[in-house]
Amino acid sequence: MVIATLAALFLIFGGSKMPFSQPLDVTTKQVKAFVQDEARRDRALAILKQMEEVGKENQKERKAFEKTLDKLGARRGATMEEFQAANAAFEPQETSAVEKSFALRFQLKDTLTREEWSKVFPPPAPAAR
C-alpha cells in the first residue's frame, strides 16, 4: 500500500522523467499559454496551486516519517512492530494526500476542455528506435 501510494504521488506531483507525467510548474505554464477563457484559466491555476500545497504538506509529513525511520534504523534493537507502528501512523496521511491529489486532478479535467487538455498535457513523443 505504501509503495503504491508513493508511486501515485510521484506521478501526480512530477519529479519524473517518465513520459506520462510533467511537473506542476510545466503544467502551470501550459495552462497560462493554452487556456484562453480567463475564468477557466483562473480556476485551473487555483486547482494547480492547491495541488502544489498538498504536495508541499505531504513532503513535510514524509520528511518527518523518514526521520522516524532513520531513528529506528539506527537502533540495532528496533523491532518489526516499531517499524510497522511508524508506518501505520504515516499511512493515513499519505493516503489522504493521494486522495486529495486525485480529486484535484479530476477538478482540473472538468475545468479544461478536451482540446485544452490535449495541449496542456501533450501525448508523449514516440520512442526512437
Gyration radius of the chain's alpha carbons? 18
Confidence at 15, pLDDT banded by 50, 70, 90: very low
Break the chain into its structural domains and give their ranges. Answer: 2-114
Lowest model confidence (mean pLDDT) among 17-26, 64-73, 82-91:
17-26
Compute the distance between CA of residue 15 and CA of residue 92 in angstroms, rounded to an integer.
23
pLDDT digits (tens, 9 = 90+) for 30-54: 999 999 999 999 999 999 999 999 9
The answer to whether the CB of 5 falls within 8 A of the CB of 94 is yes
3-state secondary structure of 118: helix
pLDDT digits (tens, 9 = 90+) for 76-118: 999 999 999 999 999 999 999 999 999 999 999 999 999 999 9
Compute the distance between CA of residue 76 and CA of residue 53 in angstroms, rounded to an integer.
37
